[in-house]
Structure 1
């Protein structure tokens, strides 16, 4: 029976009847009331009905009043927009019943339909998507932004994007249960009906919610990305959607200049990840990871998710790639690594990048500026004067740090500082030792040296060393005011404290103007025992009134 014959039989104008006839356009594409649909979104065998709608039909017009609504034929239509209740899927038609005989199939399942209407179901609070479908398929006007797309495209877009938005990239629309599909569709339709800005916000929400260990447009957008890969990339039907999606991907994911997505070309890189940044700036992956963590761009345990703006950080990465590690930087200056680290510690030569998880690095320009700031104060001579020493050896002789010598050289205080015309490294600069000592010399310390103590106490060297080590003579370590060598210095109070309780054999012999052996013999006969220090040490006695009556030690002078 043709459509015209059916129209005559039903006494309905053929034009009205043809509006709701699914016309096969070939290649599994159909036209329904001017809307393009594919088999994926047009139910051909499964029949979904709203029990409440059919029960109202029955009450108002009897059995013949029960009829199918055109929106029920859409696969995405899962909730009745009138009663806000879930659609009921009827059992498949069995031969000889035709799957397209809607009236008879409703009649066969009427008991089940009526029971479902009386029991009711879960009430949906959001039926904006279903309302839109009903208006669109019936030819009514809507003010949604997505009206520019054909209905089949909108259905695919809503279901694929909604699945990702509501359930994540691991789920597929085909895996959703009937109760999950309305929620997925509602989420996506709410985002896309107002325009590109709301759709962009939805895309960003998907990107931010991604838990993929290796983020990317494909892994973050799951089913939506896979659907976009399957559609036509060259025709006008999907052009606006693909242009917008590709631009979003280029601006938010690490696509480089020349990369293709959905037939669109990325012209300028907007986003870097560790891999793309390390390749572009020729840095090893672990080093690039440490740099990104040091810059506060992410955590090392989730380094594969680190992404950052190419425009903002490319200059930083380019500068870092030019920098030298301490060993190479020290070789560039002609100094030891330890000397370089000392200069950095006292802030004379600061690293360009100094992060806790990485070794500091130095930019060649900074090294050149530092080197020139020293060389410009070195007098250029044809021959190095006799007695001048290379700067680093000079520091060893003067017992000073390199930074102290460099500070004097840069201030112009080191008058003997010179170099040959061909010299371009700090190592090739020379100066006089006494000139450097003149600049470093400080005030002379108050106290007695070991040599002076030896002379005043009239004991040998090992005895002085032993007294200091056993704290019988309190000493402090200081640097010589000129040679800067470390030495022990005994204060006057320490000497007075020692002489108040001890007397040396040498002092008593000197005061008595006799030989020490003679004094020792008399003290031994008188019962005075020296301190048990050992044979190689000078004899020292506890100072008592009895000892002083026998031999007065005298005073130090």
Structure 2
């Protein structure tokens, strides 16, 4: 809180009272003779200066609970001498003195009047409009406002401030409309200091007020989702895709989002949209388009923000993404389309006559190459086995199911015959389908077609029954947005 500290040892000051006594006596003589000794207290009338020194010395020597009426004349003289020596000559010296009193306070909570004890008690009883005391009252009240959590409507020595400089936790929570526990977690997570005077969390508003103000303005994830007009799950997708970043990411604090960031995302999304008074009946809002096109919200938002959708328009409402509309057919055509470059796991099992575990083994061991694409019909991520790797596999290996299909007999009979010939499959575990080297099977006299013939037959059957390479059409679905268009 304080930028520099002054350290006064009361014992050493007391031991130096003889020298100080001589100094203060000389000072009084100079003031009575009309001289200006060049000290800060020269601005005060001599009687005011001596009273101030007496009260200040009492606080330094006997603590903030000291009462002048209970001190003897000798003790009061020592108080004047100690304060005179500590006050120094300049305003900076006086500031150090005031700071030392505040730092040495033994009060449990930061309270200016308790910390300054006898000084505050004396000045609270004087005429606060007196020009003789104006400089002293202005100086002390300014120090109080700058270092203590004093409400705006509370006066110190008849002085008020229009803006509060120091806050306690609860006063800041009231001013910024934030729950006290939530603000406390925010302050601690931000490593904001709890203050060096007394106990309790206090902080200067000019240093931390802007951070607290931004935190108070932030919305929770559910509130931000409602502002965007989307569900919580869709909002989480935007967060994971970094389309919308939280304003604060602090330990113990849930992610919160600033309204300006939400507005910026909305402006980016509707930047190329034309504002119209009436929405065409066949248009859908962005939420409905996500359902119709099976496209995640973050991908559709990027497509809309790119300006590629000519039919994009918006109404004048503030429903977030639900106020942005487009032609479903145009959006469907603009979405990236991955042609089928392979076959699915289900199709592969049917072609090779193997089980799931075997497919996983072949992919993990590198016999088959699988990549993830977005299926054109439902646009969900799906693993596809490459045709090239499948052809290479069929040319080198053959499954027990394919042998049995070519022979027209049960697989168990083929397995018994191969076992009698001491042919061992390279898949030994019982959970895997049996796979043999094609060269070993050919030497045994089975009527198994060559790798190329078998592969061509498999691809022909797949083309006839399962495959399509044309772009699918947009399915007709009802309006699922729940909003009137």
Q: TM-score, normalised by structure 2?
A: 0.68
CA contact (8 A) 2:374 2:382 kept: yes
1:465 alignment partner in structure 2: 356
1:308 alignment partner in structure 2: 204
Mark the CA change 1:258 to 1:532 in structure 2 (over 3 Å): closer, same or farther. closer
Mark the CA change 1:322 to 1:309 in structure 2 (over 3 Å): closer, same or farther. closer
Q: Distance in 2 between matches of 1:405 and 1:430?
A: 12
Q: Distance in 2 between matches of 1:479 and 1:436?
A: 19
| SS of residue paired to 1:516 | coil
Matched, 1:136 2:28: yes
Aligned length: 428
Larger Rg: 1
Q: 1:334 Cα deviation (Å)?
A: 0.8
Between 1 and 2, higher relative CO (CA 8 Å, sep ≥ 6) is seen in 2
1:383 alignment partner in structure 2: 280
Q: 1:409 Cα deviation (Å)?
A: 0.6
Matched, 1:199 2:94: yes
| SS of residue paired to 2:348 | helix
1:325 alignment partner in structure 2: 220
1:275 to 170, 174, 180: 170
Matched, 1:228 2:120: no
Q: Give the unaligned 5+ runs of structure 1.
A: 1-77, 87-121
1:504 to 384, 391, 399: 399
What is the CA deviation profile of residues 77-129 of structure 1, one whole-angstrom value per residue up to 9, with x for unaligned ones? x99xxxx999xxxxxxxxxxxxxxxxxxxxxxxxxxxxxxxxxxx7x487134
Mark the CA change 1:186 to 1:288 in structure 2 (over 3 Å): closer, same or farther. farther
1:478 to 369, 372, 388: 372
CA contact (8 A) 1:509 1:516 kept: yes
Q: Distance in 2 between matches of 1:347 and 1:337?
A: 15
Q: 1:410 Cα deviation (Å)?
A: 1.4
CA contact (8 A) 2:43 2:135 kept: no
Mark the CA change 1:368 to 1:259 in structure 2 (over 3 Å): closer, same or farther. same
Q: 1:241 Cα deviation (Å)?
A: 2.2
Q: 1:185 Cα deviation (Å)?
A: 5.3
Q: Distance in 2 between matches of 1:178 and 1:276?
A: 43
Name which of structure 1's ranges 319-328 and 519-528 shifts more when overlaid on structure 2.
519-528
| SS of residue paired to 2:110 | coil
Q: Give the unaligned 5+ runs of structure 2.
A: 1-9, 457-485
1:516 to 395, 406, 409: 409
Matched, 1:215 2:110: yes
Q: 1:405 Cα deviation (Å)?
A: 0.9
Matches within 5 A, 1:112-261: 124=16, 127-133=19-25, 136=28, 143=37, 145=39, 146=41, 149=44, 153-162=48-57, 164-165=59-60, 169=64, 188-207=83-102, 213-231=108-126, 233=128, 238-261=133-156
2:434 alignment partner in structure 1: 540
Q: Distance in 1 between matches of 2:432 and 2:220?
A: 57
Q: Distance in 2 between matches of 1:299 and 1:491?
A: 63
Q: Distance in 1 between matches of 2:124 and 2:195?
A: 33
RMSD (Å) for aligned C-alpha atoms = 4.8
1:334 alignment partner in structure 2: 229
Mark the CA change 1:488 to 1:162 in structure 2 (over 3 Å): closer, same or farther. same
CA contact (8 A) 2:194 2:200 kept: no
